Every structure is written in C-alpha cells, then in structure tokens.
Amino acid sequence: MLSTAGALPRHGHRAALALTGWTVGWFVIMAWDGGGSWHFFVQGARALADTDDAIRGGLHTYAAAPMLQFGPVALLAALVTIPAGAAGGLLIWQVLGAAAGPAILWQIRQIGAATRPGLLRDGRLDRRVAAAAVFVLPVWLFLAVGVAHIDDVLALLFAVLALRTAVSRRPVVTGVLLGLAVDAKPWALPFGCVLLLLGDRRAVLTGAAGMATVIAAAWLPFFLADPGTSNALRFTIANTELSALRVLGVHDARTPPWDRPAQAVLGTVAALLAWRRGRWPAMVLVAVGARVVLDPGTNKYYIAGVVVGAAIWDVLGSRAAWPWWTASACLGLFTARWVPMPDAAHGWLTLAYVAACAALLPTRSGAGAFSDRSGPTCEAPVMKIARRTANKVPEVTVYFWIIKVLATTVGETAADLLNMNLGLGLGWTTVVMAALTAGALAVQLRAGRYVPWRYWLVVILVSVVGTLVTDNLVDNVGVPLEVTTVVFAVALAVTFVLWYSSEHTLSIHAVTTRRREVYYWAAILFTFALGTAAGDLLAERIDVGYLPSAGLFAAAIALIAAGYRLRALGPVLAFWAAYVLTRPLGASLGDWLAQSRDAGGLGLGTVGPSVVFLLASVLLVVHLTRSRVDVVDERAVGSGEPAPINARTYP
C-alpha cells in the first residue's frame, strides 16, 4: 500500500535504481566529446557580462549577435558558472541538465498521481513512467550533455513544472514558470496554452498576467536599450536536406523569414485544439510537433522536446500500457539520424510522425482523454462500445504459426513466380494481385464470422502484395532497403498507435468490429512489407545469406517465446513481435529454396516451392475447417461487452 500519493512502492525503488544506471550510462556516452554547443552560451554570457561595451555587450548582446537564439535566462544560467571556466561551467550544466531529465519524469509521474489515481493504485502509473524513461533519457542526455543546450533544458523543465502547478490550480506560479520557459527559449511561447488548465477565467487571467510580466522583465530591457535586438527575430539558419521543410516544398538554402513565427502560431493553434478536444496531455506534444515539422533539420536535439511531450501523452493521456509515441519519436526521429538512408527520408519520417500527432486532435475525448476542457479530472469517461460481431480472426495455436510461415514463404516465392516466370512484370503483377487482394478482403470484411479458408486466402494474398510493394519501391523507384525497412516500421508503429488510440486494445481476441478489423489487416499488410524489406536487407544488402538470416530470425522468435513464457513480455507485445519476425523468416526460407546456388540458395526455383507450400497450407486449412480447433471461444468476447485486454493465453 502507498502511504502517500507521491511515494514509490517497493518495486519502484528497484526501477528507480535501474533508471539511474541507465542515465549514468548515457551520461558517460554523451559526455565523450560532448558540449558541442556550449561555446555559444559562453560567448553570450561573456557578452552579457561586458556592460562596458556599448556596441556588443550588455543589453546590446542580441543586436550584435543575432545567432544567439536563446533567452536571457539561459544566458544568466551560463553566466553563473563562468567563474568555473568554460570547461568547469560545461561540466556543471551537463550534470544539472542530466538531472533535469529524471526530474521531468518524476513531475509527470506526480501529475499522473493527481489526475489518474486509478493508475497509481494498481502500479500502472510507475510502469508507464519507467517504460517511457527508457526512450526519453537517451534523447534527453544528448540534449543536456551531448550538445549542452541549456536553453531547451530549462524551457522544457519549466514547462513541465508549469503543467503540474496548473493541474494543482496555482495560477501565479504557473504564469511565472511559463514566463521563465519563454525567457529561456522563445519557441516555448505556445506552452502558454497550459494556462487554460487553470479552469476559471480569473485564474487564467492571473496566470497570463504573471507570464507576461516575467517575459517583459527579461526581454523588454534589451529591446528598449537597442532596437537592433529585433534582428534576432529575423535570423535564419541553414535549411538542410534532412528537413521536413524540404518535403513541404521549401528548398531555399536558408529558412524563410516566416518560419519561426509560423512555428509559434501553428504550435499555439495545435495546443489550443488539444485543449478544446479534451486532450490536454497532448498539448506539449503537438506544440513541439509544430516546431519540428517546420524545423530546417539542422539540430537533432530538438527531438528532446518531442519525446518529453510524447512521454506526457503516453503516461497521462494514452490508455496503452506501452509508450508507443515516445518509442516512435526516439527510434524514428532521433535514432534514425544515425541510420544510413537518403537525407530526404528523415524529412518524411518527421512529417509522418507529426501527422500522426495531428490525428489526436480531430476527435473528442479519445483514448485517455479527459472529460472536459476546463482541466484534468481523475479518470477518463467510459467509452461507448461499437456494434460487435463474432471474432473474425483465428485462435493462436501451433497451426496458426505453421500456416503463417507457410503463407509468408508462398508470398515470397509466388511473387517472384508471377513477376519473372510468367512474364507479367513487376508493375502488372502488382496491379493484378492488388485487385485480387482487395476482392478477397472485401469478402472477408463483409462476413459475420471467422471462416478458415476465407481468412487464410486473404493472408496469402496480402503476403504476396506486401512482397510486391517492397520490390516496387526498391527495384522500380530505387528506394534503398534501409529506407523501406525504416518507413514500413514507422508505418506499422503508427498503425498500432492509431488502432490503440481508437479501440483501446490490440488484442486479436477483440477483433469484433469493422473498424478493428480494418486496423488488423492494415497491420498485417505492413508486417509483410516490413518483413520482406528486413529479410532482404539482412540477407542481401548486409550479405548475411538466406539460411543464416532465417536462423537469426528463428532465434529471435525463440527468444520472444521464452520471454513470453517467463512473463517478461506481455502477450500482445509478444504476439505482434513474433508475427512481424515470421515474415522475414518465411521470406528468407523462400529465397533460400528458390535462389540459385551461386546466390546462396538451393536452386529449386519458384514453381516447386510455391506449389508445395501452397498445398501444405491448403491441407492445414481443410483440417482447421473440419476440426474448428482455431475458432475463438465467443464467450470470451461476448456480443455486447468488450473482451478484456490480454485476458486469454494469447493476445
């Protein structure tokens, strides 16, 4: 039992110790050759302290050096450490900045304890925070230690503190904290929308007055002393090939003059929409999303704001137990920067992630959203359940996995058979198979229950189409396998996020509505496309070979099975991870059987393996049709109540 809302349970101390080690480890990694931007703060702090220089010092600092795109509070923070020397000041702020990361996570946890006590009582809150921390801390340590941008560190810290005080209905403190956030980094201005969580009009106005006073006190002296300070507002930076701006059609070498104002306006509008739609935990995420989607792609440390906003949503807003948004931001926007791929792919990944964030805004009170616009309540309202049918997918048995591997192998060999042996060509093969798949899927969606031959026919056809989609991108469009692997991984992650946000479950024992089934088949398509790309990447591009690649994927599946049996992995995560990996396993086996001996295969061609595996699949489907051993017990899902998430042996 918890003695207070803020206390950690006993197991929480072990998690805190593990996260401390995780933080220290990343600190050491990032500190090696770290502090890449610290010289800007040293330059700005020394200029601010040089009040005798009437041209470049004191209140003329921003007019003389408009490239200093951070606020007076950040300059003062750096100035305090100047007596320790440049290296000493860097170390001080690296340590303080690193500590701010866990402090932010703790504040998010405390907000959750106040607004969602149900999560606190059963331990889910601490598990969510710990899971999000795994992805937040590496990005945060890059910001605080690797580049040492203390302006962003302070702005995000003040913003999260303001979120907590707003939840506690403390208008003056909230306004002061938000003002300090803007004084540390001007892009924090959209965070001012947090004031709306104070509730009544008087409290909001009081907080706004406090925020305006703090901002004016910091910035007004510079503008009054030197009108040239406005030069900092018009300063532009390089617009690299990595940016989403390029994807949006802005190809200028420097950022356009409207870029920074547009970030502020778009971020404010997005945060207001999040509040108005009852999704206040998403306010920071969508506000920062507006910044990165119009960012010129120069600075990787901007992603720290995204992961912090994503962690707030994953902990306080989402119903998912796994921090999908935080993980996607860390892997797709931050880690991907070190993955070899065309520069333009990074812009597309940024645009795709922000577009997914925007999908949180149109609907009211969705997954984990709260019940009104005035501010937080204790728990989310009960959701209405859509009309249900019998479960439309099979029980997960040993037959399921055997047919799945057979179907994926057929997908690989049959795609090559139709494309090359029958002379249809890649384009026409894709058109024909896509039409057949659409027809079979339409029949499946219209059906009222699971029928083995109908379900597995769609799986086999989707398997072929998934292979063809990847082959088209690689062979016809020229997209590298590294890029297709990352793109399909992100597409699959976004599908899962949207599915869970809409339906609050990824359980295959709850595919009882049309919308859930559409999400299910979209996920299946992306798993096949991702598996094909990943299998070819490992076997061909990295040159591991077909059979060794199959062995690696089989070993990974075995580890997942062991993790599930040992209860280290939940059933939903274990199922979908294994489902994804069976695709490259089947694809590698298919290529090993079909490819020539010179290419590392057995040289059996595409006809024989396709016929054998297809015949084996048909025989197993006939057996399932007669025995019905894979029919889900409909009592587990019912006709009027939702099935409990993870209630069965399999997800």
Tell me what the mean pLDDT of segment 158-176 comes to. Answer: 93
Q: Is 591 helix (H, G, I), strand (E, B) or coil?
A: helix
| Contact yes or no for 23/53 (Cβ under 8 A) | no
Would you tell me how many other CB atoms lie within 10 Å of the CB of residue 522?
A: 17
Q: To which residue do tokens 């076997």 refer? A: 539
Q: Is the pLDDT of residue 624 over 60?
A: yes
The pair phi, psi for residue 513, each rounded to 5°, is -130, 160
Please give the C-alpha separations between residue 622 and each of 408, 628, 630, in angstroms, as whole numbers.
Answer: 18, 10, 12
Higher pLDDT pick, 341 / 186: 186
Question: What is d(CA 120, CA 228) in angstroms, rounded to the nearest whole number?
Answer: 52
Q: Is the pLDDT of residue 543 over 90?
A: no
Question: What is d(CA 317, CA 281) in angstroms, rounded to the nearest whole number?
Answer: 5
Picking from 521, 558, 551, the residue whose alpha carbon sits closest to that of residue 401 is 558
What residue type is assigned to position 284 of the chain? V
Taking only the tens place, the pLDDT of each residue in 358-395 is 887 765 544 333 333 444 543 333 333 344 556 778 88
Taking only the tens place, the pLDDT of each residue in 266-313 is 889 889 988 888 889 999 999 999 888 887 776 788 899 999 999 999
Question: What is d(CA 180, CA 164) in angstroms, rounded to the nearest whole number?
Answer: 15
Q: Return the structure tokens found at 571.
A: 């059933």
Least confident of 157-161, 374-378, 572-576, 613-617: 374-378
Q: To which residue do tokens 């010179």 refer? A: 598
DSSP state of 330: I
Higher pLDDT pick, 275 / 340: 275
Taking only the tens place, the pLDDT of each residue in 105-131 is 999 999 998 888 888 877 788 888 989
**Burial (Cβ within 10 Å: 0-12, 13-18, ≥19) of residue 412:** buried
pLDDT category at 207 given cuts 50, 70, 90 is very high
Taking only the tens place, the pLDDT of each residue in 46-69 is 888 887 777 887 888 888 888 788
pTM score: 0.59
Model pLDDT, residue 605: 67
The secondary element (H helix, E strand) that includes residue 593 is: helix 571-594
What lies within 8 Å, CB to CB, of 299 at 6+ separation is 147
Picking from 236, 339, 349, 337, the residue whose alpha carbon sits closest to that of residue 293 is 349
3-state helix, strand, coil in the chain (%, to 5): 75, 0, 25
Q: Return the structure tokens found at 295.
A: 């960012």
The secondary element (H helix, E strand) that includes residue 291 is: helix 283-293
**H-state helical runs in 472-570:** 481-503, 514-536, 546-565
Picking from 294, 238, 248, 247, the residue whose alpha carbon sits closest to that of residue 267 is 294
What residue type is assigned to position 598 of the chain? D
Please give the C-alpha separations between residue 531 and each of 22, 490, 534, 621, in angstroms, as whole numbers.
Answer: 31, 13, 5, 23
Higher pLDDT pick, 10 / 568: 568
Please give the C-alpha separations between residue 382 and each of 270, 385, 387, in angstroms, as whole numbers.
Answer: 26, 9, 16
Q: Is 340 helix (H, G, I), strand (E, B) or coil?
A: coil
Q: Is the pLDDT of residue 458 over 60?
A: yes
The DSSP string of 95-153 is HHHHHHHHHHHHHHHHHHHHH-HHHHHTTHHHHHHHHHHHHHHHHHHIIIIIS--HHHH
What residue type is assigned to position 447 of the chain? A
Picking from 590, 516, 492, the residue whose alpha carbon sits closest to that of residue 549 is 590
Would you tell me how many other CB atoms lie within 10 Å of the CB of residue 200?
A: 12
Q: Which residues pair with 254 in a beta bridge?
A: 238
Q: How far is CA 335 from the centre of its chain?
A: 11
Please give the C-alpha separations between residue 273 and each of 351, 360, 500, in angstroms, as whole numbers.
Answer: 19, 10, 21
b (16+ CB within 10 A) / e for 43-56: bbbbbbbeeeeeee
What value does the CA radius of gyration of the chain take, rounded to a whole number of Å? 27
Q: Return the structure tokens found at 292.
A: 């990165």
pLDDT category at 423 given cuts 50, 70, 90 is low
Q: Is the pLDDT of residue 539 over 80?
A: no
